[in-house]
Amino acid sequence: MPKFFRPNPISLALAGGAILLLPFAYLAGWLGDLGRVQPALSALSQARQNLAWQASRRPQEPPGAAPTVQTQWTDSTVTLSWGKIPHATSYTIYRAGGSQSLSEARVLAQITPRSALSYTDAAVSPGQAYSYWIAADNAVGEGPLSAVVKVHTYLSWNTVAQIGESAARTLTEVTWSKTAWGILGQTTKSQSAPAWNLGGTIFSAMTPMNAGRSTWLTQHGTRWNLGATPVTATVRLGMTVVSGAPHLPSLASGKATQEDLALWNVNGRWATALVSPSTTPLPPNALVLNAYGAAVGLTGAVGSLQPISH
């Protein structure tokens, strides 16, 4: 009679327990795999979100507006400033010489400003003309150019002073007096000051001396010389006006600039001072030249400006 295998109750219990634990083991393994996969899935999701965000912000066309440019300049710098243009990420600055057109302009700089929208061109020379254009850019391309901005840099103050000094001539006034019979001899007084040809008229800031009126007892007189040439002089608007003088180089007349140069002579030596249209009083007996070397006017003995007609 055959013998049948009779399982051990303990073995049956262990086997049953193992079968029951299989789902839990599978779940634990799945959770372990999920823990390793989850960071990758999160990174992938974040990347997709970033791409979607970038795509939403990516410009579809270049900036549609042109900058409006403001300028300031000196003898050695030109500063450009403008307002922010929508959808612009950078700005291209073009520069040409004063007589050149846009087709001859070159790219001066391309900047990506973080705050102030400005650029200073320090590669300019005194007394030169320049033209500037600015365009807003983004990843798609360049927007329209600004209207041209034309600049003429100032001269250096040394150059302005040299213009005034080289155009000056020395005007001398000599007054004399003597008795009618010449018994007491003759006495003389003299003064000198620079004179300039301003718009075809020779002016000096000199205030004429009072020679006095001749009588039968005493004679008075005045002699004027411009350099070594005898001239005549009259007073007009508080200035001494010379006539009968040889040709002198004429200074151009011009309007006041942000700063001007006052030039005068003290005991044969030139003195200068920077002044502005609001400076009062100005240095007395001075020629005022603007930053381009053009004459703005002359000052009298009390420092009041007598403008030269433009």
Residue corresponding to tokens 């030139």? 270
The one-character DSSP state at 253 is: B
Q: Which two tokens stand for residue 36?
A: 């390793």
Residue corresponding to tokens 């001007």? 260
Between CA 296 and CA 215, with CA 235 as vertex, the angle to 5 degrees is 165
Q: Which residues make up the CATH 2.60.40.10 domain(s) of the chain?
A: 69-153
How many Å apart are CA 155 and CA 141, to the nearest integer? 39
How many Å apart are CA 111 and CA 88, to the nearest integer? 11
The reported pLDDT for the residue numbered 19 is: 59
b/e code 49-88 from CB counts within 10 Å (16+ = b): eeeeeeeeeeeeebbeebbebeeebbbeebebbbeebebb
Q: What is the DSSP string of 12-52?
A: HHHHHHHHHHHHHHHHHHHHHHHHHHHHHHHHHHHHHHHHH
Q: Which two tokens stand for residue 296?
A: 């703005």
How many Å apart are CA 181 and CA 82, to the nearest integer? 80
Between CA 74 and CA 67, with CA 118 as vertex, the angle to 5 degrees is 110
- pLDDT per residue, tens digit, the chain (310 aa), is 455 445 556 555 555 555 555 555 555 565 566 566 566 667 667 777 666 556 556 667 999 999 999 999 999 999 999 999 999 999 999 999 988 999 999 999 999 987 789 999 999 999 999 999 999 999 999 999 999 999 999 999 999 999 999 999 999 999 988 877 666 677 889 999 999 998 888 999 888 887 778 777 888 889 999 988 999 998 887 788 998 877 788 899 999 999 999 999 998 899 999 999 889 899 999 999 999 999 999 998 888 888 876 4
From the number of C-beta atoms within 10 Å of its C-beta (0-12, 13-18, 19+), residue 213 rates as: exposed
**Which CATH number is associated with domain 69-153?**
2.60.40.10
The one-character DSSP state at 65 is: S
How many Å apart are CA 205 and CA 277, to the nearest integer? 19
What's the pTM value of the predicted model, to 2 decimals? 0.74
Residue corresponding to tokens 């007189």? 221
174 within 8 A of 206, measured Cβ to Cβ = no
